Amino acid sequence: MTAFQEQTRDYLKRHHPNSDEFHQAVREVYDDIASLYRKHRHYRDWNIAERMMEPDRIIRFRVCWEDDKGRVQVNRGWRVQFNNVLGAYKGGIRFHPSVNESVLKFLGFEQCFKNALTGLPMGGGKGGADFDPKGRSEREIMRFCQAYMQELFHHIEPQVDVPAGDIHVGSREIGYLYGHYLKLTHRWEGVLTGKSPNFGGSCGRTEATGFGVVYFLKDMLEAHDHELEGKRVMISGAGTVALYAAKKCIAEGASVITLSDSGGTLVFRDGLTEEEWDSLYRLKLEDHGELRDAEHGTFHQSRQPWTLVKGTIALPCATENEIDDKAMKHMLENGLVALCEGANMPLTRDARERLLRDNIPYGPGKAANAGGVAVSGLERSQNAALQSWSLNTVDSLLGEIMVDIHKRCIENVDRQNGVYPYSKGANIYGFRRLADAMVSYGIK
């Protein structure tokens, strides 16, 4: 272990105890930028390493709301405003019982690098609550969103912090959150993204993350003399990101052989069809149902895609650390050709190291899933200019942004054993942009 790695670990242990996910995300980046840091004395002189690990601020608040039985419920809400040197804080809101400060710090930290890679002026942040929407009625979810916004609205503004959705915060929840913001402030403005295009949202935002993953995947495959057409693709998750990644894979002539949710995995031996996709869209995104109730495919309770089927492309699109070393070993033995992350940090540290050792093209989330936040950036531009762009315009801009992100990931790194180290390239690119801005600003 180098002195820099030791210092990083020591700082994290002292200043961020009980934050495993955050340590994992920071160490992954800092391992990759260690030699860059050593070479650039001004980064050391300005103590960029420690400053970049520290969120600008963490806002934590009580969220009280009334359930359908008239009982008062209490949850914890947060907004982590991580770093705004490249623009207003930007990043989603997650509602899930597993949400805590470590998870939000890791997501906020990742978001800073991801947003830097888009080339748009956006800083990084993330928020959420430990609220479990499972089993809650629509009205309970509405009341929770209103209670969450009741506190959040003090901290957000179009040029300060612009949240969006993440797990269990889709267009329905953004509608409730935005509606309450309007009620509290009387200001119709671009303070949230992921809104319905009916009231200021961007066409194509819902599709953007999943579509962007596939645009990135196609470029990555092409750079390694592979193509997507005809490949068998394993996808985890069945939310916004997973479903739109699946839709684009089908359009590109690949076979999507799995989708999953927290209950298990749905397998399509001959590939998911467009009609089956439509019915899953209704089940998961409109009715907020469970895959076990799907009309098509074979459901395998409590199983993950990775050890259940044999595919050559993996697109984890559910949640962090969903692929462990054992699952990764299994996929590699089964002839994995490429992996792109729709989810944020879906590989455990061991699984990631094994994948990198095996020289398989690997698109890290901060690059591959950046299409969502990029279109959020386009939504902000539309709101600021009081314009609405067409789906074609937005989709072609998304395509261009993903091509640029792919280029940025490989411009500072050489192929190793024939494969581009995208993850290292993404970390170096993001670190440089953030660090150079921090140096320019002096001590802030």
Ligand X SMILES: O=C(O)CCC(=O)C(=O)O
Ligand Y SMILES: NC(=O)C1=CN([C@@H]2O[C@H](COP(=O)(O)OP(=O)(O)OC[C@H]3O[C@@H](n4cnc5c(N)ncnc54)[C@H](O)[C@@H]3O)[C@@H](O)[C@H]2O)C=CC1
Q: Which residues participate in catalysis according to the annotation?
A: 126
Q: Does 291 bind ligand X (CB under 6 A)?
A: no
Asked if residue 319 binds ligand Y (CB under 6 A), the reply is yes
Q: Which of 102, 206, 344, 383 binds ligand X (CB under 6 A)?
A: 344
- DSSP assigned state of 347: B
Closer CB to ligand X, 300 or 408, in the complex: 408
The per-residue DSSP string of 240-266 comes to HHHHHHHHHHHHTT-EEEEEEETTEEE
Partners of residue 315 on adjacent β-strands:
235
Binding-site residue total for ligand Y (CB under 6 A)? 25
Q: Is 166 in the site for ligand X (CB under 6 A)?
A: yes
Q: Which of 115, 150, 344, 383 binds ligand Y (CB under 6 A)?
A: 344
Q: How far apart are CA 21 and CA 24, in angstroms?
A: 5
Q: Report which residue's Cβ sits closest to ligand Y.
A: 239
Q: Which of residues 44-103 bind ligand X (CB under 6 A)?
A: 90-92
Selected binder of ligand Y within 83, 255, 260, 423 (CB under 6 A): 260
Residues 203-232 contacting ligand Y, CB under 6 A: 209
Cβ atoms within 10 Å, residue 41: 9
Among 127, 197, 204, 372, which residue interacts with ligand Y (rule: CB under 6 A)? Answer: 372
Residue type, 346: P
Question: Which string of b and e fits 386-397 if b means at least 16 CB within 10 Å?
Answer: eebbeeeebbeb
Beta carbon of residue 428, minimum distance to ligand Y (angstroms, whole number): 21
HSE, side-chain direction, 13 A CA sphere, residue 231: 26
**Orientation angle between helical segments 422-441 and 101-118, nearest 10 degrees:** 90
Task: Report what 167 binds from ligand Y, ligand X, none; CB cut-off 5-8 Å by kind.
Answer: ligand Y
Nearest of 353, 350, 405 to residue 377 by alpha carbon: 405
Rounded-to-10 torsion of CA 284, 380, 105, 305: 30
When the beta carbons of 73 and 100 are compared against ligand X, the nearer one is 100
Is 193 a binding residue for ligand X by CB under 6 A? The answer is: yes
Q: How far is the CB of 92 from ligand Y (least distance, A)?
A: 6
List the one residue from 84, 240, 382, 383 that touches ligand Y (CB under 6 A): 240
Nearest to 266 by CA among 310, 232, 311, 236: 236
**Among residues 32, 140, 219, 261, which is the contact residue for ligand Y, using CB under 6 A?**
261
Taking CB under 6 A as the binding criterion, the range among 37-45, 159-167, 272-280, 355-363 that sits at the site for ligand Y is 159-167
Angle between helices 171-185 and 138-152 (to 10 degrees): 50
Q: Binding site for NAD(+): residue ranges?
A: 209
Residue 300's H or E segment, with its range, is strand 298-301
Cα separation of 345 and 106, whole Å? Answer: 9
Do 338 and 221 form a contact (C-beta atoms < 8 A)?
Answer: yes
Interacting residues with ligand X (CB under 6 A)? 90-92, 111, 114, 164, 166, 193, 344, 372-373, 376
Interface with ligand Y by CB under 6 A: which residues?
165-168, 170, 209, 236-242, 260-262, 317-319, 322, 342-344, 369, 372
